[in-house]
Each structure stands twice: as C-alpha cells, then as structure tokens.
Amino acid sequence: MKGYNSKVLVQFVKENNKSQLVFDTLLKYPDFKSFQYDNIYDLKSEFKRLTKKRPVDVLNSIENDLEYGIYVKDYCKKFGYSNNNPIAVISILKILALETNSIVEFLARLEELQFFIQNNKRNTSKGVLLSTIHQKG
C-alpha cells in the first residue's frame, strides 16, 4: 500500500482525535476522495488483523505487505541516503520480537533495551572494548 500523510492530515488527526481510533478520525476528514476512504478502511482492517499476530509477524507484514521496506528504499534513494540504517533498525526490531508472543511482551523488551542503553551511557567507566587484530602479510 503506497501513500503518505500530509502535514495537514496529521494536524487534522491531532485536533480531532477524541479518544477514538486514528482510522475513525481519518474517516471524518472532509477532503478525501472516495478511493482514499477505501484505502483507510482497508488499512483499518489490516491493522485489526495484525493485532492477532505475533510481533515478528506484524513487523514482517508491515515491511512486506504494507510495503514499508519498499518505501524506505525508495525514500533513501530519492534523497540520496544510505538505506543501511533503516534496514538495520527493522532487522533489529524483528530479532527483538522473535522471542515475544504479544505486543505487550515486545514493548516490555523495548523498554528493557532502552533502560540498558540509558544506563550504559551513564556508566562509561565499566565498558567493554571490542577490537580486532590484523596480521600483516
């Protein structure tokens, strides 16, 4: 599914979302064309289906079925960026999601990782130095 959300649309959601699903707020946007409403209905159905899957399967579906992987590659190519970092982030998220069975477990793993990273930044005196040794000749 290709497409993007304009700043105007994002602002509309911010101003009009009253504790409801973002998709329901989007469906109230007055300037959509009929095909855009159809796309929002399809996306809402897809996200509902995704809530029943394991997090790693959800990430794979977002990357492949919703074509996020293609979007990242096209975006990087268009603006002259390397796509290595975004692809690495997606890969790391999938690795973290492998051992989880629910979004709650996955989010807990992300929070643990965030805690670990923040504590490691503050405690630089007890770090591990990784290096390589190369042989000449």
Judgement on whether residues 37 and 58 belong to the same structural domain of the protein: no
Per-residue pLDDT band at 101 (split at 50, 70, 90): very high
50: burial class by Cβ within 10 Å (0-12, 13-18, 19+)? middle
Instruction: State residue 97's pLDDT score.
Output: 94
Judgement on whether residues 37 and 70 belong to the same structural domain of the protein: no
Judgement on whether residues 33 and 47 belong to the same structural domain of the protein: yes
- Give yes or no for a contact between 79 and 37, defined as CB atoms under 8 angstroms apart: no
Judgement on whether residues 35 and 68 belong to the same structural domain of the protein: no
Separation between Cα atoms, residue 32 and residue 41, nearest integer Å: 12
3-state secondary structure of 96: helix
Domain that holds residue 35: 1-52
Domain total of the chain: 2
Instruction: State residue 127's pLDDT score.
Output: 62
Separation between Cα atoms, residue 36 and residue 26, nearest integer Å: 10
Global pTM value: 0.60
Per-residue pLDDT of 15-73, as tens digits, reads 998 788 888 999 999 988 899 889 889 888 888 888 889 999 999 988 888 788 888 88
Work out the mean pLDDT of the chain and round it to a whole number.
Answer: 84
Closest CA to 127 of 41, 119, 135: 119
Instruction: State residue 5's pLDDT score.
Output: 65
Q: Is residue 126 part of a domain?
A: no
Judgement on whether residues 75 and 101 belong to the same structural domain of the protein: yes
Over residues 12-17, the mean pLDDT reads: 88
